[in-house]
Structures are given as structure tokens and as C-alpha cells.
Amino acid sequence: MSTEFYRTGAPIEDGKAPDGVIAERWDNRRFAAKLVNPANKRKLTVIVVGTGLAGGSAAATLAELGYDVKSFCYQDSPRRAHSIAAQGGINAAKNYRGDGDSVHRLFYDTVKGGDFRSRESNVYRLAQVSVEIIDQCVAQGVPFAREYGGLLDTRSFGGAQVSRTFYARGQTGQQLLLGAYQAMARQIQAGKIEMHPRTEMLDLILVDGRARGVVTRDLVTGEVRNHFADAVVLASGGYGNVFFLSTNAKGCNVTAIWRAHRKGALFANPCYTQIHPTCIPVSGDHQSKLTLMSESLRNDGRVWVPLTGGDTRAPADIPEAERDYYLERIYPSFGNLVPRDIASRAAKNVCDEGRGVGPGGLGVYLDFADAIARLGRDAVAAKYGNLFEMYERITGEDPFETPMRIYPAVHYTMGGLWVDYDLQATIPGLFVIGEANFSDHGANRLGASALMQGLADGYFVLPNTIGDYLAAGPFEPLDDAHPEVADAAEAVRTRVAKLLAVNGSRTPDSFHRELGRIMWDYCGMERTDAGLRKAVGLIQALREEFWRDVLVSGESEELNQQLEKAGRIADFFELAELMCIDALHRTESCGGHFRGESQTPDGEALRDDETFSYVAAWEYTGDRPVLHREHLTFEYVKPSQRSYK
Amino acid sequence: MNLTLKVWRQKNATSRGHLTTYRVKEISPDMSFLEMLDVLNERLILDGDDPIAFDHDCREGICGMCGLVINGVPHGEQRATTTCQLHMRHFKDGDTIVIEPWRAAPFPVVKDLVVDRSAFDRIIEAGGYVSVPTGSAPDAHAVPVPKASADTAFDAATCIGCGACVAACPNGSASLFTAAKITHLGLLPQGQPERARRARAMVETADELGFGGCTNIGECTAVCPKGIPLATIARMNADYLGLAATGD
């Protein structure tokens, strides 16, 4: 099949997928994988791009195993990667509570939560290694919350019916990341990791079809340089910043994985975007990013809007009878605790009806008055004090006195580079871990599962599977003069020079804002055929204008933050178009991907398993992308319509 | 509101810097401090000037990347706040605001308001970890940790490594940063085997990097966005001196 937007190619299969009983697959794969002799490991070099939970844990573990590691991050220190901002917690099937949790239940919840668009084998392995992650982090000194008896505390999170989320107040990501960073620091000191902070990967080096290195730009001196290795691991995070406004850090970008995609790595499910329901609303045109308020707030806060549109009274002046607690009304059994995708869309719907609150009518109330009356102010402060403070810093309003205003914001991208069970992309020697790959969350990620996946990939999965590939190494030594290396470096220099040479009249940020607006309007919480077609046209026109009229100040041989931005935005343009095409071709609704044309009579997402039970893996061609389907089969969890009513 | 900004401009590490005056108009009180600088930078680019370089990333107060000295105070006068979480509603129409980079010999200026804080990484590399290779950990419940120890360790562990403590200290000391990690790991059973070695290695590395000594002034904890307490420095000294006394 082919359309004006894409062509269809041969289906693909996960060539490393083990079969047999699901609980034994990971053991079987580890046993079947080739090992690298300890004496040979030190002759092998691995590049790891990104130092978040996935990249940091992978770099440390690979170095501990004896490989020589080169690690890269754009921040000034590996400790600052955006995993640090994760608040809520990390899931693990420890069943310390004896409340009926098990590896199988975590597996089941994750497959269902992903709306049956992930691989059973991968998710099962994730649930299995979740247990080891907690052990490892505790041994590193991660200060998880504890009970008075000295044992670890857990909480239920994101609508799970068991208490399996381990946490460190509202800073779980920070503490886990510092654990991985410290493990890296030990290996840097030992000389096993060569650390390159303030360095950005701008291209992948392929030699004889294998990933053999990266071309980087030193963000301080502007030096463009080649780095060689026997394998390359991309752990560069998600691409939510294509929307300009998101909960991602300002520097988060798609460049590393997009450059690899352009070199042949398939990009899977790019349209699967998670929009988080509880973020602080936009306050004006100056807004540079959005801040998440932990989902845990929905345990005690009640979500509402005025019953009728255009009600501009202060919230305290609106009597109970004139409020609509819409989540409790529509979803009586889950109420305010419905999953993220459902809560987000419900908020959008009431705002579309003109009942939103705050500037521009893009907000709903999250009200703690009942919780304060029921539990007392002190108890509420003990649970949520730091979040209330953060909210007050940003908005100037005190949630003890007046309801919070919240609105959905882009938070996480489930899509990413396609990888097999070994986490290897379609380019031999290229591995992709953490948010940068597509592997475990299907069409929607559950709360407290991102940290789990990042650390599972980095500490426990990749270090086992990469050996199977590296056993064939070391590969031929390379230098800058090798033709394929020289070409890659030259392409990077040309592109940098081209961005500076345009010398137009619009700033990089102005283009990024406009692109983000297109994506939010047409490829955000609700997508339609007409909207997506329109978006593709708008993106193409804006991209053409970008390359004709962008104004990048300064030079290449210096610290130049505008140049960094412009390069990333250029890649976001290409990604944005692919996201829209992916969203356009998937005419069903599933998880975070809601197509207006595909809903149940009462407005819920309607999947089409007959047609769309596959991973959409896209090949870059420079023209229309080519769709390769990986069919998904479900042996252990029967696909069903999710219901939270 | 309309404001006058005096901003430190410095082309690179080797050139001389100076304060340059800019006027910004129609600043919304809802803007963050960094968004105010974004607005100025957009104008500078269109005017053909070099925009102001400053470090920032998460813009939600946790990555530790941002840090400006605002009117002489690291991260500004609002307590327990990073620069990115400081909002313009704390300023008045007509104010003059002086914006400078961290000032400390071990944090050389890279450009404008950007400094090199890699010395902090060197301190952690010297021993700010527990040596536990992946896969070698016992079950997480094998070693209970008293809640009080866990909570105090957590308070110290919240350090974001921004460097405000060094910038505020008249001695340019990294004691609060170093002590936060020594306290975090030293309070946990997992951190005991390396406790003495860790304290010695980290303190001596900080000294070698050119950070000053602590004279208990307390400017560090006053500007710390995470409120790391001064008591951590007492713990660091106890660990450091304790091992000197035992000859370990």
C-alpha cells in the first residue's frame, strides 16, 4: 500500500525474540547469548550518549564489566540529565506488602496500561528485573522512604491496585540518578569511563554498515571531533520538546536518535506521546516550559470546573451545586484516579466546552478543600507541602487557600528507535535504551514505570545483551581519514556552517514556538485526519522558511547556545512531520494516541486490533518514509477494552 | 514592569569582563527570572547583538544547572529558591538588577554568566559513592535502616550541586557541597565500610582544587536552594578528624 504520505515496505520481525514459557525467556536469552572473555573486554570500547538513568547506569555497569566506556552529555555534568526531575517513584514487583503483587501482575498491568501495543516478552523481562533494581539502588545508598521499623515504604501510584511504588519523597528521580552518577564517578576515577560533558552528538559514524562511533561538537570550543568504538549506545531520552512547551528540560532533544534514524535506524511509533494531566497551566506568551505537579496530588485533590461556561467568579464563590466534579461524575469507580491519558482528555473536553478556568480558559481546578477539612491542614502539608510550595513559587497562589489550576502538558514519548529484544536497533552495533527506544510502554506509560525501564535497560538488560554483539569484536581500527568517517564529520561541519550562513530575520526560538503550536493543535491530545493533513503542510512550509530565514547569531568556534538550539530545531522539524504521518496512518485510538474518528459512543478511545495490532517502524528515505510493521501477538494477556468507569 | 539590568558580559575564559546595562520593558510579574532573560535575548539577537549566555536546563529547580548572582546574592534574595524558580513578581517596576556569574577561583567563567563547575565532579569522583558493582547487592530488606537516619541522609542527599554555597562563601569553600555527600552516605549502613576513606579523599581533593576552608560563617546554607544544614559540615569534620585521631 502507498499513500501520498508514505510507502509500505516488508514487515519486520524481532530476530532476537526468545520463545517458550514467558517466565523463562530472559534466562534462555542470556544463556544463548555469546559471552566476551574478561581479558577481551578491555580491548573493546563502547560509546554511551546521554547520562540519565539509562545512560548513566549502562556506562557504570559496562565499565565495571571491564569495557572501556566513552560517555557524552550536553549538560555541564552527567548528574544533571533530566531523569533528575522525575518526582513520583519507581515500580518494582517486590510484594513487600503482601498485597497480591507479583512479577506477573506488574507485567499484566503494564501491558494493559500500554493499551496492548507493547511486546509481551519485553514487558515481562522488565517486571522481572524490577526487583533487582531496588536491591541495587539501596546498596548504592539511595535514601528511599522508610518505615519506623527501618524497612522500605511503598505507595500505590497511577491507579495501581497494589502498593508497589518505591519513592524518595517527591525526588525519586534525583536520588536514583545520583546513585547512577556516583557509580559512574567511581569508574571515571578508575579510568574506565572517559567523560565528555558539554559535548553533543551530531552524527553517527557507520563503517561497513556497523555503528562505529559518533561525531560530536564540543559546546565550549565548537570543535567537531570523531570518537570511535566497537558499539554505540544511545540513551538520549525522549523528544517531547518537539512541542516546544513540555515538562522536559530545555535542552532535551531528538538529535542523537534522529541522526541515527537518518542513517538507517527505524523509528517506531513516533506518534505515541504521553500528555500528563497535572501540570501548571501556561501563564503567557513568555512561557518557556511547563512544570509537572506530581500525579500523587490526585489521591486527595478533587478535579472540577464550573457547571456552566463563562463563569468568572472566584472558585470560593461558586457553590457546590454549580460545580462539575467531572472525573467523579464520568468515572465513578476510579474517579480522580483514572489513568493519565483519560484524565488529560477529559480536561481538554471541558475546556473545549468553554468551562475552563484561569487565563485563556485553559485550566481546571484541583481542589484540596475537602482533604484539608477531612485530614487537617498539617496532614495535607506533610504529604504535599513541597509540591504546594513549588506551585506557589510559580503561580503566586497558595493551594491551602485557593484551588490549584492545572492543565495537561506533554510529558513523555513512548515512541523511539526500534530495537529488538537485545535492545539493538536495525543498525548492527547500535543499541538504544531508556526513553530513546520504543520498547516497553506500548501506547501509554504507567506512572513510576519510566524510572524502572531506564534502570532496567542500563543496569541489567543491555550489559547482558551487548556482549552477544561484541563477542565478534574488536573491529578494525579507524582514524579520521577513513572515507566513511571523513564524510560524516564533513556533513556535520557543513550543516553547522549552513545554519550560521542563513543569517535571516527570525530567531530559532520563534520557529520552535510556532512548530510547537502546530504540533499541540493538530498532533496533541486529539488528532483527526483533516488536522494531521493540515499539520504536515504547515510543518513543511515552516521548515522551508526556517532554512531560508533563521537568524543564528555568533560563531561556530565558541560557546553558542543559539547554534545548539537551531540544530536541534532543524531535527525537530523532520521528526514532527513523521509524527504526524504516523498519527495519520494509525486511524485507531490507543493509549495516548486519540483519533477523533475512532471513539466509543461515550467518547472513549476505540482500538482496532484487527488492523493495528502492530508496531509501526518507519524507515527514512529523504522522501516519503517507508512503513515496516512488526506484528504483535498476545499469548498471556488477552487484549480487552480498557474501562475505568 | 520596566527594569534596568546590569549584566556581566565576558567573551570567553581569557578575556576581561564588564557590566553592560540593558533596559527591559513590559516584563510580566508571572515570568520567571530566566524567561525575562529569554525576552532580552530575543531582542538582542534581532538587534544583531550577541545574546547573553547563561546555564539552565530543567527550569524546575532540580537539575542544578542554573545559577546567577542577583544583586549580590546567589540565586537572589528569595530563600530556598533556584534562579529558575525565582519569579519577577518579587521585583518592582523601575528596579535595577545586577546579574553576575558565580565568583570563585575553582569555577572559572566560560562565557558571560556560564562558569565551569567540573571541580564538583572531581570531588565526587574522589570518593562520593558506595562501591557496589551492579548485580552484587543483597535484598533491599536485608539491612534495615532506622527511619531517622534515612530521613537525615535524605535531607543531605537533596543537594543539587549548583555551587551557590561556594559562590556565597567569602572563603570560596566547597564544604557544604562536600559535607552533604559525606553526611548522606555516612549516615547509612551501606556507606560505613568506606566512610573514613571517603571523608579524607573528598576533603583533600576539595583542598587541592583550590576551594577555601570553612570558618563557620553560614552564608552557604543561607543561599542553598535545598536548605542543606550547616550541621553537615560538623559531621564532615568529625569524620575527617576522627579518622586522623585513630590513625586510620
Pairing of β A210-218 and β A199-207: antiparallel
- Predicted confidence at residue A2, as pLDDT, reads 61
Right CATH for B118-246 from 1.10.10.60, 1.10.1060.10, 3.40.50.1370, 3.30.2320.50: 1.10.1060.10
Q: Work out the number of other CB atoms within 10 angstroms of the CB of residue B117.
A: 25
DSSP H or E run through A407: strand A404-413
Instruction: State the pLDDT at residue A567.
Output: 98
Where in chain B are all domains bearing CATH 1.10.1060.10? Answer: 118-246
Residue A299 is predicted with a pLDDT of 87
Share of chain A above pLDDT 70, in %: 99
Q: What is the predicted pLDDT for the residue at B74?
A: 98
Instruction: Please list every residue in chain B whose beta carbon sits closer than 8 Å to the beta carbon of residue A186.
Output: 125, 129, 131
Of the pLDDT bands very low, low, confident and very high (cuts 50, 70, 90), residue A121 is very high
Question: What is the average pLDDT value for chain B, to the nearest integer?
Answer: 96
For residue A116, the model assigns a pLDDT of: 97
* Strand order, beta sheet including A68-72: A193-196, A68-72, A45-49, A231-234, A430-432
Residues 6 or more apart whose CB falls under 8 angstroms from that of A612 comprise A586, A587, A588, A590
From the candidates A340, A355, A405, A642, give the one annotated as an active-site residue. A340
pLDDT confidence of B223, banded at 50, 70, 90? Answer: very high
Q: Is the peptide bond before A474 cis (omega within 30 degrees of 0)?
A: yes
CB pair distance less than 8 Å for A559 and B89: no
C-alpha distance from residue A12 to each of A29, A614, A630, B227 (Å): 20, 10, 5, 53
Predicted confidence (pLDDT) at residue A1 exceeds the cutoff of 60: no
Q: Which residues contact A157 (CB under 8 A, 6 or more apart)?
A: A88, A89, A91, A164, A165, A295, A296, A447, A448
Q: Is the pLDDT of residue B193 over 70?
A: yes
Predicted confidence (pLDDT) at residue A295 exceeds the cutoff of 70: yes
Q: Which residues of B touch A558 (CB under 8 A)?
A: 11-12, 111
> In chain B, where does the domain assigned CATH 3.10.20.30 lie?
3-110
Residue type at position A294: S
A506 is annotated as an active-site residue: no
What local confidence, expressed as pLDDT, does residue B244 receive?
57
Q: Does the structure's ipTM exceed the value 0.90? A: yes
Q: Which helix (H) or strand (E) holds B21?
A: strand B18-24
In the prediction, which pLDDT does A337 show?
Answer: 86
Above 80 in pLDDT, residue A553? yes
Give CA–CA dist A178/A173, Å, rounded: 8
Question: B25 CB near a chain A CB, below 8 Å?
Answer: no
Provide the pLDDT for residue A10.
98
Q: Which of residues 159-188 of B touch A (CB under 8 A)?
A: 160-161, 184-185, 188
pLDDT digits (tens, 9 = 90+) for A229-284: 999 999 999 999 999 999 999 999 999 999 999 999 999 999 999 999 999 999 99
Does the beta-carbon distance from A459 to B134 stay under 8 Å?
A: yes
Summarised one tens digit per residue, pLDDT across range A106-120 is: 999 999 999 999 999
Topology of domain B3-110, per CATH? Ubiquitin-like (UB roll) (3.10.20)
CB pairs under 8 A between A and B: 222
Could you give the 3-state DSSP secondary structure of residue A43? coil
What is the H or E stretch that residue A125 is in?
Answer: helix A120-140
Which band of pLDDT confidence, cut at 50, 70 and 90, is reported for residue A339? confident
CB atoms within 10 A of CB A614: 18
In this predicted structure, what is the pLDDT of residue A156? 85
CA–CA distances in Å: residue B143 to residues A149, A150, A152, B185: 11, 8, 10, 15
pLDDT in tens, B12-42: 999 999 999 999 999 999 999 999 999 999 9
- A363 — contact with chain B (CB < 8 Å)? no
Q: Which of A111, A30, A9 is nearest to A632 (CA)?
A: A111
Q: Which domains does chain A have, with CATH numbers?
A: 276-411 (3.90.700.10), 483-613 (1.20.58.100)
Tell me which residue in A77, A169, A291 faces B161 most closely, judged by beta carbons. A77
Task: Report d(CA A397, CA A391) in Å as an integer.
Answer: 7
Residues of chain A neighbouring B136 (CB-CB closer than 8 A): 139
Q: What pLDDT shows up at residue B246?
A: 60
Single out the residue of B111, B102, B101, B103 nearest to residue B14, CA to CA: B111
pLDDT tens profile A184-219: 999 999 999 999 999 999 999 999 999 999 999 999
Q: At what angle do helices A529-549 and A561-585 cross, to 10 degrees?
A: 160
Inter-chain contact A132–B58, Cβ cutoff 8 Å? no
Q: Mean of the pLDDT values across residues A523-549?
A: 98
The residues pairing with A155 across neighbouring beta strands, listed in sequence order, are A165
The partner residues of B31 in beta bridges, in order of sequence, read: none
pLDDT band at B245 (very low <50, low <70, confident <90, very high): low
Q: Do A150 and B49 touch (CB under 8 A)?
A: no
- The DSSP result for B181-222, as a single string, is HHHHHHTSGGGSTTHHHHHHHHHHHHHHTT-B---S--HHHH
Is A143 in Cβ contact with B153 (below 8 Å)?
Answer: yes
| DSSP-based three-state secondary structure for B111 | strand
Q: What is the pLDDT of residue A427?
A: 98
Q: How confident is the model at residue A169 (pLDDT cuts 50, 70, 90)?
A: confident
- The shortest C-alpha distance from A188 to chain B (Å) reads 7
Q: What is the mean pLDDT of residues A13-17?
A: 93
Which residues of chain B have a CB within 8 Å of the CB of A390? 60-61, 85
pLDDT tens digits, one per residue of A368-377 = 999 999 999 9
Contact residues, chain A, for B62 at CB < 8 Å: 84-85, 171, 174
Per residue in B149-158, pLDDT (tens digit) is 999 999 999 9
Cell numbers at residue A616, please? Answer: 509501526
